[in-house]
Amino acid sequence: MAKKLKHNIELTVYSSLDDLPSKDKELVLRAKEVSKKAYAPYSQFYVGAAIRLDSDEIVEGSNQENMAYPSGMCAERVAIYYANSHHSDQKIESIAVTAFAKRFDVTHPVSPCGACRQSMAEYELKQNQPIRLLMTGESGEVYIAESIETVLPFMFNEIELKNE
C-alpha cells in the first residue's frame, strides 16, 4: 500500500516481512543474515545489505567499522562496490537494508545514510534504470522506494560538474 511519510515522500509500506512478495522477502532475509557478519564494535549497530542483480544473483555487504573514524564503510556501499567489481555487466534491480542493535530493538525501517544514498544514486544514473530500495528493521514495517531518487530527490549528478 502506498503511504506518504516524512517530508511527503511516498513509499510502499508493508506491515511486516511476512507480507512481502517472495523475491523481496528472500532479499530482506539475506540482508538480515549478512548483518550478523557486520564488524560494529563501536556503534554496536549491525547493518546488512543485499542486492538483487538483473541475473537474479544476490550479493551482500555488511557495515565494517574502524577505530579511526571515518575509515569504516556502510553495508550498502560494501555491497554496491562488490557488485560493480564482480558483476559490472549486470544491473542492480533492488537493494534491501536492515539492521539490529545490541542496546535496543530496531523496530522501524532503517534508511541509508546520505553518502550511501548518493552512491546508490550514482549507480541508478549509471545503469539508466531505477533501483528499488527495501528498508526494514528487526521487526515492524517494511518500506519500499521504487527509485533511489525518491529518497534523494536533489541528488548530485554529472550536470553539477559541467561548466556550461
Active centre residues (catalytic): 76
> Burial code of 82-99, b = ≥16 C-beta within 10 A, e = fewer?
ebbeebeebbbbbbbbbb
**Would you state the cell numbers that stand for residue 159, as one nine-digit string?**
550536470
- Residue-wise pLDDT tens digits, 42-88: 999 999 999 999 999 999 999 999 999 889 999 999 999 999 999 99
Average pLDDT over residues 149-159: 80
Name the band, by pLDDT with cuts 50, 70 and 90, for residue 9: confident
Give the CATH fold of the 27-139 domain. Cytidine Deaminase; domain 2 (3.40.140)
- Contact indicator for 31, 98 with CB cutoff of 8 Å: yes
User: For residue 50, how many other CB atoms are within 10 A of its CB?
Assistant: 27
Name the band, by pLDDT with cuts 50, 70 and 90, for residue 109: very high
Name the band, by pLDDT with cuts 50, 70 and 90, for residue 160: low
- Residue-wise pLDDT tens digits, 13-53: 999 999 999 999 999 999 999 999 999 999 999 999 999 99
* Spatial separation of the C-alpha atoms in residues 150 and 157, rounded to whole Å: 15
